[in-house]
Structure 1
């Protein structure tokens, strides 16, 4: 059935079917992915300003803006990939591919969400709007074909996490340390390349279907990328921790101590990556109790070094 026929069938549906369209739009917007946007709190937290009312309000505005713009990107992505998704064994069940949400409606909703995100971001200042526009432009390029370009696709996905972290600082007017940017950038690359590596390992073990862009990578190359990213991330975090200690008027040793749980957590997560189980990082974080303890220990040490 053609797109036009599908759209006509959906549009001519009875009013009782309308909740299905709304539910389909919500599902396509991926609200579960909004948890990524808590990264906007990273800069205020590390700058010891998270409890300032103005800063917290700016961070909330940045969070809301990224929720809207990221959902608009998901809508555009699924609308562009509708033909390919209909041939995919699982993606064909997505609301747009299955015909629940018309393609034109998806594009219209994406525009509304994008304009809404720009409007909300202006409440914190034009600087946040610029960051948001850059994010949208980069992600749109990804949707339009850059996701099929080796290396470029990894960098674009990783840049999404980096821009979220930058947005929190920009919205609150907080200068961003070069170490903060490096840790965030290479930490993002570590997560993204690790996820891709795990997908390839799973494919080699089980023959499970993988995304088309992964056919241009080898497992050894992705292993090299995430290992390099992990090494740079650990190095830059260690340098940042020593800088935090020097800035602390009480010369607190907690920043240096935080290196220990940070490194162990990275190594622990690397075990999952190496075993091909990092395809869903959020599931690992929720199921691995040891990793949770290490993460909480790291946050506690970092908080003590900054706020004590």
Structure 2
């Protein structure tokens, strides 16, 4: 058996790039319980959540390494993904395998010390994503539901880190619906971007059409707006003056802005990348966050 080569500086950079740090923004969902349980300004729960965020980021990175190793040949045919370190040959697959295996093993003890229930959820998340890479990504609709469940698990992980007292279950539903919207939007983006080669890159794309995805996005979008609106004036942990309803326009504009970008402007970037690329959309997300914090902590 050949030993895993010790990565040099260039290989370490390529390994870090393959762990997709930009995608780690998704793990910010772990902060939802901290913010909405009004513990953002408490040092202990904030520190525990930051530690949990780092652990989830590293686990996510290990999953991305494993996923890229599984999709190596298909990614070489993708117009964008072929430039990633693994498909381009910049990163040795043996180094990637080492990272994919050793990172999760090394995080077991820190996760248990932080909180046993957090550790359980974190490794359920890790295992579910491995199952997605091997099997679930080939099952129509279930593939997107699996990805959306990952967002809910991130929120649940944060719940145990801050020992929530007034966290509303409505946020689980809002998170799930928003994640479904993002998941279906990503499938649509892949079909538009890859065209006739979509099936060669990801076989499950043969089970989707742009019209089908647009209809599902419309259903999920409507459900997201309704669920979030109900949350703002019915959740017991919010201010009794229902001021959180003031954040609804930001949610409406954010969703409508995204639909405008993909349908009118023809944007093909994934939703998480488009948020960073489009200034009005990014500003909307920032303003929503600032308004929610202002209402929770000052009103």
Same fold, judged at TM 0.5 (above) = yes
Q: Look up the SS of the partner of 1:51 in the other structure.
A: coil
Which of residues 63, 72, 84 is equivalent to 2:62?
72
Distance of aligned partners of 1:105 and 1:203 in 2 relative to their CA distance in 1, 3 Å threshold: closer
Q: Distance in 2 between matches of 1:189 and 1:129?
A: 25
Question: Does residue 230 in structure 1 map to residue 227 in structure 2?
Answer: no
Q: How does 1:111-150 map to 2 (within 5 A)?
A: 111-150=101-140
Question: Does residue 155 in structure 1 map to residue 145 in structure 2?
Answer: yes
1:191 alignment counterpart: 182
Give how far 1:222 is off: 0.8
1:281 alignment counterpart: 271
Distance of aligned partners of 1:85 and 1:294 in 2 relative to their CA distance in 1, 3 Å threshold: closer
Give how far 1:66 is off: 0.5
Distance of aligned partners of 1:131 and 1:289 in 2 relative to their CA distance in 1, 3 Å threshold: same
Distance of aligned partners of 1:86 and 1:296 in 2 relative to their CA distance in 1, 3 Å threshold: closer
How many residues matched? 294
Q: How does 1:1-308 map to 2 (within 5 A)?
A: 18-86=8-76, 88=78, 91-174=81-164, 176-203=167-194, 209=198, 211-212=201-202, 213-244=204-235, 247-248=237-238, 251-275=240-264, 276-277=266-267, 279-307=269-297, 308=299
TM-score by length of 1: 0.84
Question: Based on CA coordinates, which of the two structures has the bigger radius of gyration?
Answer: 1
TM-score by length of 2: 0.87
Distance of aligned partners of 1:109 and 1:252 in 2 relative to their CA distance in 1, 3 Å threshold: same
Equivalent residues of 2:168, 2:237 under 8 A apart: no
C-alpha offsets along residues 70-107 of structure 1, whole Å, 9 cap, x if unaligned?
Answer: 11111111222234444556544433344443333322
Distance of aligned partners of 1:264 and 1:87 in 2 relative to their CA distance in 1, 3 Å threshold: closer
Q: Look up the SS of the partner of 2:85 in the other structure.
A: coil
Give how far 1:46 is off: 1.0
Q: Distance in 1 between matches of 2:65 and 2:93?
A: 9
Q: Distance in 1 between matches of 2:293 and 2:188?
A: 32
C-alpha offsets along residues 130-160 of structure 1, whole Å, 9 cap, x if unaligned?
Answer: 1111111110011113212211211122222
Equivalent residues of 1:68, 1:113 under 8 A apart: yes
Range moving further from structure 2, 83-92 or 164-173: 83-92
Equivalent residues of 1:37, 1:67 under 8 A apart: yes
Give how far 1:257 is off: 1.7
- The answer for unaligned runs of 5 or more in structure 2 is none
- The answer for unaligned runs of 5 or more in structure 1 is none
Equivalent residues of 2:82, 2:88 under 8 A apart: yes
Distance of aligned partners of 1:215 and 1:306 in 2 relative to their CA distance in 1, 3 Å threshold: same
Give how far 1:209 is off: 5.0
Give how far 1:190 is off: 0.7
